[in-house]
């Protein structure tokens, strides 16, 4: 038994001894590995420090080569001081080239618009016999340059001239004062008289290439004085003017004075104009020198006049216009009805002419037609994304349709009755450039019909 115990103890001691030797060898190896790793870390740290020194030397070398020209800092400081001085105009772009002082007391805008139109037109033989042949053609519908601005904060001016047609015509040429107590903005000069939306709506923003045929009954551009303002947090606008009839050069063609006025209200205005309802009323008293005449082309500028009363003796005329417009997201509509009550000289005192139109448009790309609460008209369309081949964006696309009617026939005057249907597609590449396509079907009552296809490229700046 003792032998067994001794043998077991001997085996156990031997085993422990062998394992102890193995563990001792493993610890020795681990210590050697740790020393080797510490050596490697030390070498890598030295390399990193060496690289950091080289980077620092390179940056110092680069800085030493780029030296500020002598006196540059002083010149920059002088320029900054000069620009910040009162009265210095700073230039910027806002739908065109603009200049303004820091306090906005003085401002200047220079720009213009170019509108190049092409038309293909076909008429019935009866229409050709009645009003003349309308051939295909092309023209610069408008080619305008202008300057406008403010002086001493409260004085404003504009001088705009149209070079289309081979001569130079006055368009908007006026001066005035703003913030006049009770009157708002007062201006004197050559401008469109306030009467209806379709007429005072800028050609830069009109939905179809031409305004409706009811424009024949509106006062248009004349020389006069006007006042306009807003009320009830810009939910209402009003404007009044007195004027004399002028030719296209701003020269008075009559010694008689006329009157025009317009008032608009916004019973609904939500979501910053994405939902709105506009209502308006216009009145104008026309006091001709001796004769009055109403005439209209179809909604094609290169076409001849289809309706024409000819010049007839008249004592005066009263014009009344009603307007309704609205926006609901990408959908918009507008319509107007205008009446002219004429007192003929030596003839009937109840001669009656009228016209009206209804128009609707829809943005396929989701834009909303903007509305100016100050002027009571629609304004510039801004695509959600401008056209860019590189970015694969395509601007804004709009579909539009309008029906218009004009009746210039009453009592002994037979100026004709005309109805137009116009369809349109607008491609807004950016806020300043668009391409337009129109189709016009015109019906001259009792005579025949005509059809036209039109295109236009229009830019303003």
Place of tokens 């000289």: 345
| Residue 47 host element (H or E) | helix 2-65
One domain, residues 281 and 383:
yes
95 within a domain of the structure (yes/no): no
Please give the Cα distance from 145 to 158 (Å, whole number). 11
Question: Counting Cβ atoms within 10 Å, is residue 102 exposed (0-12), middle (13-18) or buried (19+)?
Answer: middle
437 within a domain of the structure (yes/no): yes
183 within a domain of the structure (yes/no): yes
CA 366 to chain CA centroid, nearest Å:
16
Please give the Cα distance from 177 to 188 (Å, whole number). 9
One domain, residues 129 and 19:
no
Complete DSSP assignment for 430-441: ETTEEEEEEEEE
More confident residue, 140 or 10: 140
One domain, residues 35 and 120:
no
Complete DSSP assignment for 56-120: HHHHHHHHHHS-PPTTHHHHHHHHHHHHTSTT--EEEESSSEEEE-TTSSSEEEEEEEEEEEEEE
The pLDDT tens digits for 347-399 are: 898 999 999 999 999 999 999 999 999 999 999 999 999 999 999 999 999 99
One domain, residues 196 and 339:
yes
Q: What is the pLDDT of residue 20?
A: 43
The pLDDT tens digits for 242-267 are: 999 998 888 888 889 999 999 999 99
DSSP state for residue 246 in the 8-state scheme: B
378 within a domain of the structure (yes/no): yes
Q: What is the mean pLDDT of residues 224-242?
A: 97
Range 87-90 contact pairs with CB under 8 angstroms and sequence separation of 24 or more: none
One domain, residues 32 and 128:
no
Six token digits for residue 168: 């130079």
376 within a domain of the structure (yes/no): yes
One domain, residues 126 and 28:
no
Radius of gyration of the chain (CA): 39
| Cross-strand pairs, 420 | 404, 442
The answer to whether 309 and 294 are in contact (CB under 8 A) is yes
DSSP state for residue 304 in the 8-state scheme: P
Please give the Cα distance from 408 to 10 (Å, whole number). 136
Which range marks the domain in which residue 316 is found?
Answer: 112-142+176-460
More confident residue, 51 or 118: 118
100 within a domain of the structure (yes/no): no
The answer to whether 300 and 451 are in contact (CB under 8 A) is no
Domain count, the chain: 2
One domain, residues 348 and 435:
yes
Q: What is the pLDDT of residue 78?
A: 67
**Domain containing 229 — which CATH number?**
2.40.160.10
Model confidence at 83, pLDDT cuts 50, 70, 90, reads low
Q: Per-residue pLDDT for 38 more than 90?
A: no
One domain, residues 287 and 431:
yes
Share of the chain above pLDDT 70, in %: 87
Q: What is the mean pLDDT of residues 188-203?
A: 96
The pLDDT tens digits for 314-345 are: 999 999 999 999 999 999 999 999 999 999 99
The answer to whether 280 and 320 are in contact (CB under 8 A) is no
Model confidence at 80, pLDDT cuts 50, 70, 90, reads low
Model confidence at 17, pLDDT cuts 50, 70, 90, reads very low
The answer to whether 153 and 241 are in contact (CB under 8 A) is no
One domain, residues 37 and 122:
no
Six token digits for residue 74: 């002083």
Q: What is the pLDDT of residue 28?
A: 63
Model confidence at 4, pLDDT cuts 50, 70, 90, reads very low
59 within a domain of the structure (yes/no): no
Please give the Cα distance from 247 to 249 (Å, whole number). 5
Question: Which residues 6+ apart lie within 8 Å of 450 measured at CB?
Answer: 121, 122, 123, 124, 127, 134, 298, 303, 306, 441, 442, 444
The answer to whether 415 and 309 are in contact (CB under 8 A) is yes
* Three-state secondary structure call for residue 171: strand
The end-to-end CA distance of the chain, in Å, is 118
280 within a domain of the structure (yes/no): yes
One domain, residues 137 and 16:
no
Please give the Cα distance from 129 to 450 (Å, whole number). 12
């Amino acid at each position: 038994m003792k032998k067994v115990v001794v043998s077991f103890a001997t085996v156990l001691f031997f085993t422990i001894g062998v394992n102890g030797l193995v563990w001792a060898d493993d610890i020795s190896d681990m210590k050697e590995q740790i020393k080797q790793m510490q050596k490697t870390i030390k070498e890598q740290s030295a390399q990193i420090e060496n690289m950091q020194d080289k980077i620092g030397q390179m940056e110092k070398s680069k800085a030493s080569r780029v030296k500020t020209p002598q006196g540059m800092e002083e010149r920059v400081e002088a320029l900054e001081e000069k620009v910040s001085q009162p009265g210095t105009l700073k230039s910027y772009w806002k739908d065109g080239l603009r200049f303004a002082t820091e306090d906005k007391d003085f401002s200047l805008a220079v720009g213009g618009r170019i509108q190049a139109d092409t038309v293909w037109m076909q008429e019935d033989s009866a229409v050709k016999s009645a009003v003349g042949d309308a051939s295909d053609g092309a023209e610069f519908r408008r080619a305008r340059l202008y300057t406008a601005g403010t002086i001493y904060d409260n004085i404003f001016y504009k001088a705009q001239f149209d070079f289309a047609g081979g001569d130079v015509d006055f368009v908007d040429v006026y001066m005035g004062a703003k913030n006049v107590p009770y009157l708002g903005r007062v201006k004197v000069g050559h401008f469109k008289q306030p009467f209806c939306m379709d007429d005072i709506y800028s050609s830069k923003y009109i939905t179809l290439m031409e305004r409706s045929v009811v424009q024949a009954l509106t006062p248009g551009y004349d020389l006069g004085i006007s006042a306009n303002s807003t009320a009830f947090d810009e939910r209402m606008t009003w404007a009044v003017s007195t004027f004399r009839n002028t030719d296209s050069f701003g020269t008075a063609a009559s010694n008689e004075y006329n009157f025009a006025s317009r008032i608009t209200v916004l019973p609904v205005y939500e979501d910053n104009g994405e939902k709105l309802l506009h209502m308006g009323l216009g009145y104008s008293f026309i006091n001709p020198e001796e004769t009055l005449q109403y005439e209209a082309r179809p909604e094609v500028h290169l076409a001849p006049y289809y309706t024409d009363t000819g010049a007839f003796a008249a004592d005066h005329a009263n014009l009344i216009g009603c307007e309704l417009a609205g926006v609901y997201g990408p959908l918009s509509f507008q319509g107007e009805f205008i009446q002219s009550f004429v007192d003929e000289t030596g003839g009937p005192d109840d001669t009656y002419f009228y016209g009206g139109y209804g128009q609707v448009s829809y943005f396929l790309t989701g834009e909303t037609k903007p509305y100016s609460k100050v002027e009571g008209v629609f304004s510039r369309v801004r695509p959600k994304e401008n056209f860019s081949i590189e970015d694969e964006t395509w601007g804004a696309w709009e579909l539009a349709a309008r029906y218009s009617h004009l009746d210039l026939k009453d009592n002994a005057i037979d100026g004709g009755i005309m109805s137009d249907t116009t369809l349109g597609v607008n491609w807004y590449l950016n806020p300043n450039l668009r391409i337009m396509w129109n189709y016009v079907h015109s019906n001259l009552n009792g005579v025949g019909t005509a059809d036209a296809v039109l295109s236009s490229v229009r830019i303003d700046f």
